[in-house]
Structure 1
């Protein structure tokens, strides 16, 4: 059991017409830049790829899709209601492309400027030296640097799986007494959405629950993620990330992109778990939506409840959707829940 637990605890849980006055993105020249991914992701209409240079000299890939002005957007603007920029953060084995597939077009069509970041060592972002991409602090700091230098109004962060845990650290940097020395380094947020997120205590609780209550599932998850077996088994890839009815050719396409997306693990999981839980912030400190999927093979219902309880908000669980909510067959279900929540925030601001 100890060896199984050890092998499981690796980087495995988990991607315009608006005025540009709010955003001043600073792209780097890409003509001479070679692709990190051997299977490139082709952008959709209205999307662009920029590279944000960090203080370290390394660059983050950022996929951009500006919001579209519709009659509804204009109507809300008459009420002096702003649409916060949306910044998306992926989890393990993914990159910015996982958001560009469906959710960037969806939210930009609803008036939101959208920015999907590939964390270091993932997608087309540069790879740091060492055996892993960074820590909660360095990943959150990279996101903060991008926001600080490119986004002129407080954005809303959306994070999936381990991306959700990174956002939780960002929130703690803004509102926890334990990290108050970090506060000035992190731009303010309008809110956050944690999507199938790793709980604030990490993945240890998920591991132990699977080991004792679902040993077969524990073996499958370990083999799929820790041993990366999902990369070579279509059925295991589907079971891990997607709904059972997703067609083979779609699973295959995402499987190939995931193979290419992660050159190094996001974290050293042993050091990560030793640093958790993330520091607590006062209830109501920030508007937060905790969103889960009923058919999630990775983050269970208890994990969803833990995250929601930690932030003093009710969990929202979407039916008939798997872990990769933004890529699954019914990707629009979660997107519509988030949009409704965003609309409520807009009414609150009006």
Structure 2
């Protein structure tokens, strides 16, 4: 099968620290630019060569017209394709759906380390969907408009309550509206069914699982099993929501990751 054209952002380290490069994998409804707001500059300053990709059908990668046909296995192929072009095996850093993609990558390809931010629980997304439907019954009806970047005042409040900390002013979310896009129905179905999937081999490597104290999508209580699965370290960032790389406490999240990478 012909490889898809995968767009990447490359931020070379000004003063390389000699460590492997970092490959960032975005979550659902977003693209690589979500990393470029805060994390890529911060990791760059710490001496890491940074690459972030747009998964198929996202951002500037090909396949937007057939987005709903891409599943997690397709996204894992995208990551493997980018990894093959890097000079060294990279440290894998993912967010939400991107963590599920990384976990599939690790079933067939090793890595120096992996950082999983707000990962999809090992049981899948069904519990999260039910919880969000009960607490925020309007959310799923608003997803189509929100994923097109259409946000009224009610939508901004909803996005803040679900994805960010209570300290984030709703109007502050407007700066991120251009990062939002539709997500694949196939990938959403894959995430819902994770609990029924038979996992393949689990390689031994350093893994950090990180969540936000106020994450309404995947609360800390739901992601601890991911850390257990990988025998990894588990950290919770106080006063942070689901979007650990965009919410107000992002400097704390970045600092914890960098410290962990230095100690591994």
TM range (shorter): 0.7 to 0.9
Cα deviation for residue 315 of structure 1 reads 2.0
Cα deviation for residue 302 of structure 1 reads 2.5
1:279 aligns with 2:215: no
1:160 aligns with 2:160: no
1:99 aligns with 2:35: yes
- Name the TM-score, length of structure 1 as normaliser: 0.67
Q: Distance in 2 between matches of 1:248 and 1:270?
A: 30
SS state at 2:263 partner: helix
2:78 to 142, 152, 170: 142
Distance 1:278 1:300, change over 3 A: farther
Cα deviation for residue 257 of structure 1 reads 2.7
SS state at 1:329 partner: coil
Partner residue in 2 for 1:21: none
Cα deviation for residue 228 of structure 1 reads 4.3
Q: CA RMSD in A?
A: 2.5
1:192 to 100, 109, 114: 114
1:111 aligns with 2:47: yes
1:171 to 92, 102, 106: 106
Number of aligned residues? 259
SS state at 1:63 partner: strand
Q: Distance in 2 between matches of 1:342 and 1:202?
A: 28
Query: Does the 8 A contact of 1:62 with 1:96 survive in 2?
Result: yes
1:127 aligns with 2:63: yes
Cα deviation for residue 231 of structure 1 reads 4.2
1:222 to 103, 117, 140: 140
Q: Distance in 1 between matches of 2:87 and 2:120?
A: 29
- Deviation digits for residues 29-84 of structure 1 (CA, Å, limit 9, x no counterpart): xxxxxxxxxxxxxxxxxxxxxxxxxx6353212111111217xx4xxxxxxxx311
Query: Does the 8 A contact of 1:86 with 1:115 survive in 2?
Result: yes
1:151 to 59, 78, 86: 86
- Name the TM-score, length of structure 2 as normaliser: 0.87
1:306 aligns with 2:225: yes
Query: Does the 8 A contact of 1:201 with 1:278 survive in 2?
Result: no
- Deviation digits for residues 244-264 of structure 1 (CA, Å, limit 9, x no counterpart): 332444311212331xx33x5
SS state at 1:158 partner: strand
Cα deviation for residue 153 of structure 1 reads 1.2
Cα deviation for residue 222 of structure 1 reads 3.4
Q: Which has the larger radius of gyration?
A: 1
Partner residue in 2 for 1:35: none
SS state at 1:88 partner: strand
SS state at 1:173 partner: coil
Distance 1:278 1:247, change over 3 A: farther
- Deviation digits for residues 290-323 of structure 1 (CA, Å, limit 9, x no counterpart): 1100011100122211211221234211101111
SS state at 2:7 partner: strand
Partner residue in 2 for 1:207: 129
Distance 1:247 1:206, change over 3 A: closer
Q: Distance in 2 between matches of 1:301 and 1:120?
A: 29
Q: Distance in 2 between matches of 1:143 and 1:266?
A: 19
Q: Distance in 1 between matches of 2:83 and 2:47?
A: 19
Q: Distance in 1 between matches of 2:9 and 2:49?
A: 11
Unmatched tracts of structure 1, length 5 or more: 1-54, 74-81, 175-187, 346-350
SS state at 2:121 partner: coil
